[in-house]
Structure formats: C-alpha cells, structure tokens
Amino acid sequence: MEHILMIAVGDFRARLLRYLLTGVAIGVGVALLVALYAVSDATRSYVEDMLYKVYPADLLMYSESINIPQGVLDAIRRVPYVESANGIILTSGVYGGKVVSIVGIPLRHVDYFAIDLKEGRLPEAGGEAVVEESLGVRPGDTITIKIYSGALGGERALQVKVVGVMRSFMRGFVGAFRLNLVVVSLSWLQENIGAGPFVNAVLITVKDKTQVKPLEAALKGTFRDAQVYTQESLLETVTQVFNALNVVFSAIGGAGLAAAAVTTFAVMSITVRERLREFGLLKAIGLSSRDITISVMVEVLTIAVAAGVGGVAAGYFGANAVKQVLLNMGINFNVEIVFKPYYLLLGLGTSAAVALVGAVSPMYRVAKLRPLEIMQLWR
C-alpha cells in the first residue's frame, strides 16, 4: 500500500496545477448545487414557519360567498374534540389604486392570528384597523377602502382609522404578490358590508389531532358549498413545490457538474497518456494493473474530496453572501440559511461521482494495457 501512495503523491506534486484546476471545475459545480439547495431549504423552512404562524388552525373551512351562519360555528364548537372554531371574513377592496385583502376577525381573539406589529397597536374597537406596511400609511391616518361586489350590493366605502402597522406578510418575501392586508373588527365589518351574522371562513383547532381527517370528511359532507383545507395539506403542498424546485436546481447544478466531468476526463486522459511509459515500467518490474489503477484512483479521490469540501464551503457562504447582496439592494430575502450536515454528504458524494465518472475511461485504459503495448506506443 505504501508504494501505491508514493506513486500517487509523486504524480500529484508533478501535476499540481493541472489537478488544482480540475478540482476548481468540480468545486464550482458542487458549490452551485449546494448553494441552490441551501437557499431552497431556507426558503421552505421560512414559508412553513410563517404558515404555522398565520394559519395556526388544524382546519380551514372557506366559502367564496359570505354564507356561513353563526349556527354552523356553534355546531362545530359543540363537537367534543373541537378546541376552538373562529369565524372570520376574507374579502377584498381597493385603496390608492392597490388591491387590498380585508380580514375581519373577532377582537377578543386578535392575538390568535399572530399579527406582526411594526408600530402602533392592535385594534380595540370597530372602525380601527391594522394595515400592512406595503400600503404606506401610519398610525393615526384615516383611509377609505372601496369594495366592489354584486353580492354586497355594488360599491361600498369602508372608512377606517389606522391604529397599527404590521410587517408585510412573510416580510415582503412574496415580492410583487403582496396581500396588502387590512385587519378590522369582524362585527364592525359585518355591519358595514351588510353581511349580518355570517362569515366565509372558519378556523378550527382540535384537541385530538387524530380527529382532523374525520372532521375534514364530515365538514365536506355537511357543507358542500365550502372548501375544507387542513394545515397538513397546505404544508404538503409547500413540500411538493420545493421538491419540484430542488429537481430543477439539481438539473441546473448538473449542467455545471457535467462540464466538470468532461474536464476531469480530459485532464486524466492527458495525464495517462503522458505516464504510459512510467506505467509500462512499473508493470515490467512487477506492479499489478490493480495497484497502478488504485494509485490513479487515489489521486482522483484526493481531488474529489478537496473539491467537495471547498465546494460545500463556497456554496454555503456564497448563498449567504448573495442573500446579503439582495438585502443591500432592497430585495427582501431575509431568510436564515442554516448549514445542514447533508450538504457535506451531498458535496462529497457528488464530487466523488463526477471525478470517478470522468476518470473511469482513462483508468480502464491503464488497467488493460500490457507493458509491451505501452512500450510500442512510445516508439
């Protein structure tokens, strides 16, 4: 084994620059792949965390029309394993040329909805509102929101006093697709839009999580005009979306890694060609094809390990650097990018696979050549 390592070390020193460039090619591909996965994982964790905060219920029953009566809420609350059932109204309007999402919630349960206040306070009476910072208003301002709906009798104007400003939903991470939320008292909203004692969404929390699916089925069977979603189904949707993104990211990273494999093949082919006489002499003095192939493999794996470690570090720190650049440019990408152990496994495994794929043909050539054939090639 010692002589194999000596052969590998000797060749490594002689061709250090060439192997360094090969490692850089592999490392760049690994860094791109790790950076994409790190950003994807951080974004998924952020979105899931925000979903838990803004949607703390186990089930959401939603109707496009405001047609869910108070009696339905009372019936749901009487179910033994139901912990709470909060009715709200979700509708839309226009303010300052922007489409706004109006949410009417019971003031006694305002803390339940985890409003992320930036300044001011939560509403305490009818006509008071907390608005999203994207609307550009301040506590103390009075704004008029126009609601257009045939079901509500044409155009209506809601005048609200801003008492608080909340940070943008997901802190503006959704970019141009801002919700422009306006949160008001449920009873006040019902009175001002003529909805009576009706809501169009019910947030339900159960004591026994094993009863979520049966309750979902019962609600769907009983209230056919409403749609029923579970928190689990929403999180599954998020997971599916990000899994699809990871497939795309893998394809993008794969393009860089394919180029690295081609580079490795070219470098190792040139190296093998240059060392044919050396290999012939080594075989002539008794070294087996296996020992020579292992020495070449040691060189390739050394390059792969160094490239993998360097690529993982570059990918992780590069992702954080890009995040900081985006923040400095005013693009809200304030997600926490956390290093995960599987990034190292991903980087090392990928770099080793790429290096071996690129080197397998040259190594096979070395293993099959006989000493006499090698000497003839150098005549």
- 294-333, pLDDT tens digit by residue? 777 777 888 888 888 999 999 999 888 888 887 777 666 6
Measure Cα distances from 210 to 58, 197, 214, 377 in Å.
11, 31, 8, 74
CA dist., res. 233 & res. 322, Å (int): 32
pLDDT digits 0-9 by tens, 69-128: 988 888 888 989 888 888 999 898 999 888 898 999 888 766 666 677 889 998 989 999
Closest among 81, 64, 82 to 73, alpha carbons compared: 82
Q: How many CA atoms lie within 13 A of 342 on its CB side?
A: 3
Distances (CA, A) of 119 to 96, 126, 140, 165, 242: 21, 19, 11, 5, 33
- The reported pLDDT for the residue numbered 115 is 73
Phi, psi of 355, deg, nearest 5:
-65, -45
What is the rounded distance in angstroms from the CA atom of residue 261 to the CA atom of residue 25? 9
- Residues of the chain short of pLDDT 50, as ranges, are 3, 8, 150-152, 172-177
> What pLDDT shows up at residue 173?
46
